[in-house]
Structure 1
Amino acid sequence: MKVLAFLLILACCAATIHGRAVPEALALLTKGLHQECAKETKVSEDILTKGKTGEFTEVPEFKCYLKCLLEKLNFISEDNVVNYDGMISILPPDFVEPGTKMINDCRATTGTDGCDLAWNLNSCLYKSNPKEYFLL
């Protein structure tokens, strides 16, 4: 489930508009995670749709939605430390090269809190490779 959820995080922001689509099986398996975090943070679907095309709305609901996804996958600690190696370790074979580069490009990402860090990280991942980025 953790692998699938992480892949969904990387998948939704590019969707089919910017390149990589979320595989249907992955989308179905991680749908619950998306729904759980969206409900928990009260982020609007409009803001999530914009995020899928690289338009990262700077509002607490979206920032904390991104953190929620990372938390549920254990890719961010309670102390707001990102587990980049863990993210890399679950990349599917056809995404290892671009995904590893994207993650490595963003290792220096910081934030004022966990939500800000998650938003900055996703913004960085998108900027690193918009064609390969996707969001859950």
Structure 2
Amino acid sequence: MKSILILTLLLSCFNGIYSNLTLDELMDLMKAFRQQCETKSNVDEELVDGINLGKFPKDPALMCYTHCILESLNMIRKGKLKADLAIKNVNTFLPANMREQWVRGITACKEIGDEITEPCERTFAKVECFYSNNDHFLFP
């Protein structure tokens, strides 16, 4: 957990350095988040890999994995998407060719699932919506 906080702090403080990350560099940085959240949610790795292929089975562990990732990135608080921060992070950290689609997806999905009371399910609904609204979808 300490290393995740340090990584987040470094990314926030030195966003000029990280603003031109390649896709591979970004995914390398996200490995720590993935490992932490896989362990915390006890999710099957195959289910996690399926997210980037558009596979969204209603598995409680997978739902909580998505929640853990977005919460670790400080994009979700109490199950609510912080859309402004998410858009800022997209514009700071994602490669330029992915930004427009991600901003469009966040904007389209920011209120999706808000009526769902369970935080993991609510976040999962948003992630599934992001996938549907983004040709450059990528999830750790």
Q: TM-score range by the shorter chain?
A: 0.7 to 0.9
- Residues in 2 aligned to 1:120 and 1:43: alpha-carbon distance in whole angstroms: 17
- If you compute each CA radius of gyration, which structure gives the higher value, 1 or 2? 2
CA distance in 1, matches of 2:100, 2:49: 26
How many residue pairs get aligned? The number is: 117
| Distance apart, 1:135 and its partner CA | 1.0
TM-score by length of 2: 0.76
**For residue 128 of structure 1, what is the amino acid of its counterpart?**
N
1:72 Cα deviation after fit:
0.7
CA contact (8 A) 1:47 1:62 kept: yes
Q: What TM-score, normalized to structure 1?
A: 0.78
Greater RCO (Cα-Cα under 8 Å, separation 6 or more):
1
Q: Which protein is richer in helix relative to its size?
A: 2
CA RMSD after TM alignment? 1.8
Deviation at 1:118, TM superposition (A): 1.1
Corresponding position of 2:136:
132
1:104 is matched with which residue? 107
Distance 2:111 2:39 in 1: 30
Which whole-Å CA distance do the structure 1 matches of 2:47 and 2:132 have between them?
18
1:74 is displaced (CA, Å) by: 1.1
Q: Percent identity?
A: 25
Deviation at 1:96, TM superposition (A): 2.5
Q: In the alignment, is residue 52 of structure 1 matched against residue 52 of structure 2?
A: yes
